Amino acid sequence: MADGGTTEGKGIGARVLRKEDWRHLAGKAKFTGDFQRPGQKEMAFVRSEVAHARIVSVTKPAGFESSVFTAKDMPDMQPMRAPSKMPGYKGADYPALAIGKVRFVGEPVAVCIADTRAEAEDLAQATLVEFGELPAVVDMLAAKAGDAPLIHEDWGDNLVMETFADDDFGKIADRATVVVKREYRMARHAMNPMEGRAVFAEWDDRTDQLMMWTSTQVPHLIRTGLAQFLGLEQRQVRVIAPDVGGGFGCKALLQPEEVIAGWLTRHLEVPVRWIEDRREHLVTGANCREHHYFVTIHATPEGRILGLDCDVTIDAGAYSVYPFTNGLEGAMAHGNLPGPYDIEVYRCRTQTMTTNKPPLMPYRGVARPGVCYAMEMTIDALARDIGVEAHDIRTMSMVKQEQLPFMSIAKKHFDSGDYAKSVEMVVDMIGLDKIRSEQISANGEGRLVGVGMGSFVEQTAHGTSVFASWGVAMVPGYEQATVRLTPDGGLELRIGVQSHGQGMETSMAQMAYEVLGIDPSQVTVTHGDTGLTPYSTGTYASRSMVMAGGATARACRVLAERMEIIAAHLLQCERAEVTVRGGKIVSGKGEVSFAEIGRVWYLNPDELPDDVDQGGIEVTMGYRPEPDSGAFTYASHACKVAVDIDTGEVEVLDYAIVEDCGTMVNPMIVEGQTYGGATQGIGTALLEESTYDSFGNPGASTFADYMMPGATDAPHYRIDHMESPSPFTEYGIKGMGEGGTIPTPAAIGNAINDALKTIGAEVTETPFTPRRVRAAIAAANKNRQGDAA
Amino acid sequence: MTELTLKINGEDVTADVETRLSLADFIRDHRRLTGTHLGCEHGVCGACTVLMNGEPVRSCITFAVVADGTEITTIEGFEDDDPMTLLRQAFHENHALQCGYCTPGMLVAARDIVTRLPDADEDRVRLELAGNLCRCTGYVGIVNAILSVIEKRRL
């Protein structure tokens, strides 16, 4: 039985520096845009300039007709279809190139190819599209109106999906005498990985395969989708994600450009390349986060939350995306609104509306930054109303440690932890008492200081049963990993998930070290290649470390058993006398190196015992947690802000995080993911917004008008950890890649409203820009004057 | 087409280029030095930062022909450069990169900071980094790495 590592500490819990760093530091990494082949063509797109229109005609530039393609030229390319079994769901097929109509600015209408991108862009510019403009539906609330224009005429309305759960508030009416109601909005964003999307495709005649290098988080899903929509068999498609420059969700879906590149290289028999530019990303990738909330909390006079009543509207854009659909966010909002709170009554309606904007995609945190913001902001509003500290409401109302495991009112199966303790710790870290006395002694001129927090519990690594209940096109099952001992005793580890910044080439090697004691430097982790790795639905939902890490551990354990059989024979001892430890097989009679095992199996099989496992020293094992309802990470964030009441400017002065993701495999990576997530949350809270005019024209198409968080916007984070292992996963690991984004808008919004409480102003719409903060202050002043008169 | 003569990473280069060609595309597509990355192509994100005659420039908004007669250093050209060697080690030790896409431009900018501002504190380092976007790290590791190199170079 393998007992893995030695005291050197490179396994679970060690801050192992990353194996993947050096190629990036040297400038020798290989991203999709770095691929180049002789004779390749560059792609550029003609995109819709209007939000909603019939395509009257497309006129190709004279002499270049064979270099410009519309949907009519590609009759065998199927629109992308993402089914869902969610009741009442209406998903619109997403044509890779528009057919008949366009439904958002930036929708691809035609593709042009040329030797250089500049020439391809020249062709795109010279292609004339005549649009028969139709009235656009730009706002999700306006989309509900009975006389709203229809985006998909055959639907009869603009409703993608509705979820509804009613409850009897009479049950708590005599105790829940305090009722607080608020309205919130979260703005539309773009995810903005620093590498935009990119694809390089060529047909390999030798293997009769479409070879596609693409910047994706989900290579196996891309293969499945490409085959389906291009009319190929899946064995004819190989998808490789080389170095990928961030994803955050927008690369977890099949993209129109990938389907089109596949069609072009197959039919034209030349390699093709497309590299998204930032303007394309900001226009076509404005696809996430846009929610609207009415939230009502019912509580006791002391602030114990008993009931929650919500109406949620989600702006899902124009089409349904493969494979996750544009309905997932509604289901997620419904299931996550009550957060870590133990409430008695929950009523919630979510309405997912189609609009003339890019299709909604799941951005890091998926619905939870929105629901956490709506819930946590309302909790602080309640605290201000009844005159208590908001953290007391939280600790009083949260599910208690001794209640776990616990089925929440929204049917989430919480596994382990102490939610209230994370609140107490973060209140202590931020120095609440000191800030309160600072507020009292401040003279109130110019800058007001405020403190706020946000807490969440996050389902991670949820598996088969959860996705099957959503009825989406792909349901994750047993995640697999393959380990193979090389003839010289090194280890090859192959995983179907994809690492694009998460450091899995290191953390998965740590997992192998944990079981086998093999130094991470002797482990090669291969990922992101459908030709080399087991099928996987890929990297999303904070699942990779739990799922692929768990599979890696199991495969390593079977490998250890097989090596032990060979080693016992070589040492002429009983199987029970040998064990894998510290990267070799040891017994009282001596030891055998992994290299010796490799030599015997591959090169000198005459030395093998009769009872050797004929599967050899290559093992594939599958893993899924049991139950697969998810490992629940949680955290509390608190921050201190200063609000300039004249300019409306908000400065984050301090930011404290207490998080619990169960057993940490590499705390350095955990912290890096958390800081990065929180900084994206600061973007959500203070900066990022994809604006539209009333015609559906995007107003933020460069980094000059779409504000990204820079080094001066990010605070000097302070972080502390709790470690409550999940009882349901290998080593108690929980997923943690997304959590940093979730409570940040709530924490910052609450801090701003705390600063503004003496004025009676509240911000309720992200991002909390100087303009919105000033408007909130002006509205409060106007109210007061109204009261005085 | 315009003839262009320059030095890239110490090597003499002569080429005929279109006047509209950017320095970044010249470096990446013509010279195959793909360590220089394009993040926005409008001069904001800093991923494409290279040195021109020792000064950081945005190669995405610099025409290749403007580089005529200059010396360009890309991320591939710092092999024996002491500040860069320190920075690379510090970025590694401080987890200053995740996806690695902003890293080459970030390192070139960081080299400029540590050599030009030997007394910079955290606030100043953050201010100097305002022209380089990173979507992954929250800047924590990057700032710590740069500060550690400034400290080391003081000794």
Element (H, E) at B151: helix B140-154
Going from N- to C-terminal start, the domains of chain A cover 21-30+478-623, 32-134+197-244+251-284, 368-458+629-788
Give me the CATH code for the B82-154 domain, please. Answer: 1.10.150.120
- List all residues of chain B from 63 to 122 with a beta carbon under 8 Å from chain A: 74-76, 88, 91-93, 95, 97-104, 107, 122
Cβ distance B28 to A18 less than 8 Å, yes or no, reads: no
Between chains, do A195 and B138 touch, taking CB under 8 Å as contact?
no
Where along chain B do its domains lie? 2-77, 82-154
Determine the Cα–Cα distance for residues A93 and A351; give it in Å rounded to an integer.
Answer: 20
CA distance A54 to B131: 42
The model's pTM: 0.97
Q: Most A CBs within 10 Å: which of B135, B137, B144, B147, as the mutation test of the A interface?
A: B135
What are the pLDDT digits (tens) for A662-705?
Answer: 999 999 999 999 999 999 999 999 999 999 999 999 999 999 99
Q: For A32-134+197-244+251-284, CATH number? A: 3.90.1170.50
Q: Is B97 close to A24, i.e. CB distance below 8 A?
A: yes
Put simply, the answer to whether B122 touches A24 (Cβ < 8 Å) is no
The answer, yes or no, to whether residue A7 has pLDDT greater than 80, is no
Q: Which residues contact A95 (CB under 8 A, 6 or more apart)?
A: A71, A79, A80, A256
Residue A100 exposed, middle or buried by CB count within 10 Å (0-12, 13-18, 19+): exposed
Nearest Cβ partner of B92 from A17, A196, A676? Answer: A17
Nearest chain A alpha carbon to B46 = A194
- Asked if residue A418 lies in contact with residue A724, where contact means CB atoms within 8 angstroms, the answer is yes
Chain B: residue nearest A716 by CA? B140
Contact A485, A594 (CB under 8 A): yes
Residues ≥6 apart with Cβ < 8 Å to B80: none
Cβ distance of A246 and B99 shorter than 8 Å: yes
Residues 6+ apart with CB under 8 A from A701: A279, A282, A283
Mean pLDDT is lowest, of A35-49, A152-166, A456-470, A730-744, for: A456-470
Residue B40: list chain A partners with CB under 8 A: 277-278, 702-703
Per-residue exposure over A271-293, b if at least 16 CB sit within 10 Å of its own CB, e if not? bbbbbbbbbbbbbbbbbbbbbbb
CA angle, residues A159, A152, A160, in degrees to nearest 5: 20
Residues of chain B contacting residue A116, judged by C-beta atoms under 8 Å apart: 29
What's chain A's average pLDDT? 96
The residues that bridge with A633 in the sheet, in sequence order, are A458
**A508-532 pLDDT tens trace:** 999 999 999 999 999 999 999 999 9
In CATH terms, A368-458+629-788 corresponds, of 3.30.390.30, 3.30.365.10, 2.40.33.10, 3.40.50.880, to 3.30.365.10
- Tell me the pLDDT tens digit for each residue of A429-475: 999 999 999 998 876 668 999 999 999 999 999 989 988 888 888 89
Contact B138 A192 (CB under 8 A): no
For domain B2-77, give its CATH number from 3.40.50.150, 3.10.20.30, 3.40.190.10, 3.30.70.580. Answer: 3.10.20.30
B92 to A28: CB separation less than 8 angstroms, yes or no: no
Which positions in chain B touch A679 (Cβ < 8 Å)? Answer: 137-139
Contact (CB, 8 A) for A4 and A581: yes
**Cα A104 → chain centroid:** 23
Q: Under an 8 A CB cutoff, do A245 and B138 touch?
A: no
Using the predicted structure, report yes or no on whether residue B46 has a pLDDT greater than 90: yes
> 């908000």: which residue's tokens?
A650
Look up residue A356 and give its DSSP letter: S
Determine the pLDDT at residue A124: 98
The percent of residues above 90 in pLDDT, for chain A, comes to 94
> To which H or E segment does residue A284 belong?
helix A278-284
C-beta neighbour count of A443 within 10 angstroms: 5
- A204: how many CB neighbours lie within 10 A of its CB? 12
Contact partners, residue A405, CB within 8 Å, separation at least 6: A413, A414, A415, A416, A727
The torsion angles phi and psi of B15, rounded to 5 degrees, stand at -155, 155
Torsion of CA A124, A127, A132, A135, to 10 degrees: 20
* pLDDT > 70 in chain A, percent: 98
In chain B, the residue whose alpha carbon lies closest to the alpha carbon of A675 is B138
A368-458+629-788 has the same fold as A32-134+197-244+251-284: no
pLDDT tens for residues A317-342? 999 999 999 998 999 999 999 999 99
CATH architecture for segment(s) A21-30+478-623: 2-Layer Sandwich (3.30)
A150 DSSP assignment: P
Q: pLDDT digit string (tens) for A188-236?
A: 999 999 999 999 999 999 999 999 999 999 999 999 999 999 999 999 9
